[in-house]
A and B are shown apart, each in its own frame.
Chain A
Amino acid sequence: MSLSQEVLQEHLDDPAVLCCRRPAGTLLSGQDFEDPTIFDDMVESNLMTLSDDGLSIRQALGATLASDAEALTQLTPDMLTDSVQKDESALEAVSQIQDKEATPASSKQSVESVPTINSDGTLHLHIDKSEGIDLDIPLGVLPSIAPAEGMKESVSFKAPAVEESIPDKVLRTLVKRDYPVHQVVLGSQTSYADGVLSIDRSLVDQAKESDSLVKDITMDVIAPNARHVYSNTIMDVIPIAAKAEGKLGEGITNVLSGAVFVLTGMDEAGVQIHEFGSCEGYMDEKIRFGRPGCPDDSDIMIRVDVRIEEGTGMERRGPFAAHSACDVIIRAIREKIGALSTEDAVNKEVFKDVRRKGRPRVVLVKEIMGQGAMHDNLLVPSEPCGVQGGEKNVDMGNVPVVLSPNEVLDGGIHALACIGPATKEITRHFFREPLVEALQNDEELDLTGVVFIGSPQVNDEKSFVSSRLGSQIEAMEVDGAIITTEGFGNNHIDFSENIEQIGSRGVPVVGVTFAAYQGQLVVGNPYMDAMIELNKDEKGFENEILADNTLTADDARRAILMLKNKMSGIPIEPPERRWDEAIIKDNQKLAR
């Protein structure tokens, strides 16, 4: 392979393996060694075995081969002429490059002691090699300190120039008022009172008229204790919520708790509306109850089953027609609950978009589907989780769009995507997105916003939207980022490029996705060194159980801890080469 000097210096301690056939008497130099980065694959493919008694490249450089040797032979001491005077100049040449190009990371060898922050607010740094220099720097004069390896637990991220704390600035407040639903009745009128939600059956007829692609609709109510009911694939789970005051993301939203809409469907030919996997089957088996996107254990499900025109399930217009029809019914309920009295609310949740000056600025990037067909999402509809007024991310070219955390939690995303059921983020997921909630409530962080970026179908568009994300991150001047993606496969290309766009700007970034066994990443870059696995399936598969492998509060805790570690300069240890549930469990213990 003829390792270049730069590559060679990175691999001095890796096994020395000949790249090509070499005759006896060869004075070994960089051009004789194989690139160690391919060894794992070679060993896995049984093309090579590596023994423990082999030489490192450092040891073999400058030595002479005693006999002819084949390509991919690992060098051992007996293969080199023992009487030979090892030519040290080869290694020296490398060392010189090392010295010349010493990076902060490699220069730590010369720093004997780890920098510490003293109680008097100074940074203590002892450098041994330069004949001993002690530096005591008042932290106040440093605009930013990236703490070095070894400074663990509760490390200082930034030293504000002014000692007194700056008050948090609340940009907007959202109140979600909960109104309980104990019973759902299908009758002749739509109303809510005393825990009973009545829905006018004739709304189904109105819904059928909403789009010519809709051929039939049925609606029924499924009680929590009678869920062993067969269902077509579940396209969405939609909360019933309406604005009482203000616009999306602020003011008051009335939410019916204890009942959710479940949108299911197939086309006239009996084909499920889905792409990669479908969760048709018995609802008690095909839904992971309690996931952020799913109905909870005690929820009543109002199922709206839509039959759409044959062959349109894989086009944008088909699933959109089904969602629009379902929204006709939910809209009628919204009109009735917007004006409910405050006294009837059983619970009140308060959400605040807060800017916390002096805290590390972070951004959450959520990659959503955007590949035409039925991979689409509606952004910022006029009512919570609604359809009307929403902009389709596919029509917007999948470019990154910023929502405030409150806008997300107030139903700012109506999810149309019909990707694999276990990994898709559906409308209810966004309504109670665990990472948005956790970041918004974390008083150590200043959450700047939530960026939604689509995953386009066309390759050129992929690089376009990724590079726009990079520019946006640059303009936001954030100190850290978490990026999530639903689904797996094709969109992992966008995912890795998006991470690179962020990471290459020097912003610590944590990636969150389902990969496990079935979704193993096929592309990657060096910025993807802090990753959170969303899999919950025992065997690591897209198991076609609704929302099983989506982001939970536990996953959010690990992701935030990993980001804080990374921002603080605490190394994230490399993963195993194979998906390993034990690592996730160990991380979870640390994130409790």
Chain B
Amino acid sequence: MMQLTTAPGLRSEIYVPITPKPVWTPLKKPLSQCKVAFITSGGIHNKKQVPFNTAGDSTYREIPSDTPSSELMVTHGGFDNSDINKDVNAMLPIDRLRELRDEGFIGSLVDTFYGFMGGGGNVDKFTKATGPEIAHKLKEEGADIVLATGGCGTCHRSATIVLRACEAAGMSTCLIAALPPIARQQGAPRITAPHVPIGSNAGEPNNKEMQAGILKDTLDAVEEFDHFGQLKMLPYEYRHNV
């Protein structure tokens, strides 16, 4: 009988994050010709819309991309809302995106952005329903790029799930992450990470320069990244004292 020489007590030497399978759509156009969409799991919606259920909600709100930022608000129990209350662009940089379009940095914007509340998000529902639905609608609109902000910890997971659905549907996506380890673990195809707290994931409120910089650097990263799972730290720092 053949014996194998063994020795108990070996440990695996490399930490392996158990991540979902890679999903990847390369960007095939210059940014100036791309149609860009933005989604956020940070609980942004129109003031006239039904607020999210902070105990867990897998529904989403359509936000026309020409909505004045003054008509938007946040409903989210997972983080301090004060920065978004000062300037909704800290989570959904809708004014900055329109400026980037007007200056020709990007080609155009989709007609509809999407807001949802990803805190404690039900993984099954986001994976099977919410994600594919949003992806389908954005694809129908002809989006080339989908950018997103997370919000809280589990919001990063919910946002990643929806982005993965978009990537699978043929759009190049990037999560602007305040918590890059979570984005990575959950399998975000591309990640940029400014040094910002949750609650102002897209940059300091009323700091147009930082918000625009984060967006531009993120769009550049979408163009530059050539494979799944890449992460780029961005040189912007903001700390808020709650």
Q: Which residues of A approach B to under 8 Å, CB–CB?
A: 1-2, 4, 18-22, 34-35, 37-38, 41-42, 44-45, 47-48, 70-72, 121, 139, 152-160, 358-360, 444, 459, 489-490, 493, 496-497, 511, 513, 515, 520-526, 528-533, 558, 561-562, 564-565, 567-568, 570-579, 583-584, 586-587, 590-591
Q: Which of A42, A45, A522, A532 has the most CB of B within 10 A?
A: A522
Task: Indicate if B100 sits at the interface (CB-CB under 8 A).
Answer: no
Known: A38-B153, A41-B182, A523-B228. A561 touches B10 (CB 8 A): yes
- Write out the residue numbers on chain B whose beta carbons fall within 8 Å of the beta carbon of A579: 14-15
Task: Indicate if B103 sits at the interface (CB-CB under 8 A).
Answer: no
Q: Which of B7, B24, B26 has the most CB of A within 10 A?
A: B7
Chain A min CB distance to B7 (Å):
4
Q: Is the CB of A573 within 8 A of B10?
A: yes
With the chains together, A240 CA to B178 CA distance in Å? Answer: 54
- Write out the residue numbers on chain A whose beta carbons fall within 8 Å of the beta carbon of B152: 47, 71-72
Q: Is the CB of A38 within 8 A of B13?
A: no
| B43-51, B60-68, B115-123, B201-209 - the one binding chain A | B115-123
Q: What are some 17 contacts across the A-B interface (CB < 8 A)?
A: A1-B154, A20-B55, A42-B182, A44-B181, A153-B8, A459-B22, A459-B228, A489-B227, A493-B229, A497-B21, A497-B22, A524-B18, A524-B19, A531-B16, A564-B5, A574-B11, A590-B7
Task: Indicate if B42 sits at the interface (CB-CB under 8 A).
Answer: no
Known: A44-B181, A523-B19. A159 touches B77 (CB 8 A): no
B2, B10, B21, B78: the one within 8 Å of A71 (CB): B78
B21, B77, B185, B198: the one within 8 Å of A21 (CB): B77
Q: Give the 4 A-B residue pairs with the shortest CB-CB distance, closest first.
A: A20-B120, A524-B16, A531-B14, A522-B229
Q: Is the CB of A158 within 8 A of B227?
A: no
Known: A154-B6, A360-B4. A523 touches B54 (CB 8 A): no
Q: Is the CB of A156 within 8 A of B7?
A: no
Known: A522-B17, A531-B14. A444 touches B228 (CB 8 A): no
Q: A-B contact count, CB below 8 Å?
A: 210
Chain B min CB distance to A69 (Å):
11
Closest to B26 in A: A459
Closest to A491 in B: B227
Known: A35-B123, A523-B19. A531 touches B13 (CB 8 A): yes
Task: Indicate if B164 sits at the interface (CB-CB under 8 A).
Answer: no
- Write out the residue numbers on chain A whose beta carbons fall within 8 Å of the beta carbon of B4: 154-155, 157, 360, 444, 564, 567-568
Task: Indicate if B179 sits at the interface (CB-CB under 8 A).
Answer: yes
- Write out the residue numbers on chain B whose beta carbons fall within 8 Å of the beta carbon of A571: 8
- Write out the residue numbers on chain B whose beta carbons fall within 8 Å of the beta carbon of A576: 15
Please report which residues of chain B, range 207-241, place their CB below 8 angstroms from some CB of chain A when the two chains form the complex.
Answer: 226-231
Closest to A39 in B: B153
B2, B6, B15, B122: the one within 8 Å of A578 (CB): B15
Q: Is the CB of A37 within 8 A of B18?
A: yes
Closest to A571 in B: B8
Task: Indicate if B102 sits at the interface (CB-CB under 8 A).
Answer: no
Q: Is the CB of B179 within 8 A of A2?
A: no
- Write out the residue numbers on chain A whose beta carbons fall within 8 Å of the beta carbon of B181: 41, 44-45
Closest to A444 in B: B4
Q: Is the CB of B2 within 8 A of A523?
A: no
Q: Which of A139, A359, A529, A572 has the most CB of B within 10 A?
A: A572
Task: Indicate if B157 sits at the interface (CB-CB under 8 A).
Answer: yes
B11, B21, B120: the one within 8 Å of A19 (CB): B120
With the chains together, A524 CA to B16 CA distance in Å? Answer: 5
- Write out the residue numbers on chain A whose beta carbons fall within 8 Å of the beta carbon of B121: 1
Q: Is the CB of B153 within 8 A of A45?
A: yes
Task: Indicate if B104 sits at the interface (CB-CB under 8 A).
Answer: no
B5, B19, B179, B185: the one within 8 Å of A47 (CB): B179
- Write out the residue numbers on chain B whose beta carbons fall within 8 Å of the beta carbon of A157: 2-4
Chain A min CB distance to B168 (Å):
11
Closest to B183 in A: A41
Q: Is the CB of B15 within 8 A of A577?
A: yes
Known: A1-B123, A38-B153, A444-B4. A590 touches B15 (CB 8 A): no
Chain A min CB distance to B191 (Å):
9
Task: Indicate if B35 sits at the interface (CB-CB under 8 A).
Answer: no
With the chains together, A63 CA to B19 CA distance in Å? Answer: 32
Chain A min CB distance to B53 (Å):
9
Q: Is the CB of B179 within 8 A of A45?
A: yes
- Write out the residue numbers on chain A whose beta carbons fall within 8 Å of the beta carbon of B78: 71-72
Chain A min CB distance to B50 (Å):
18
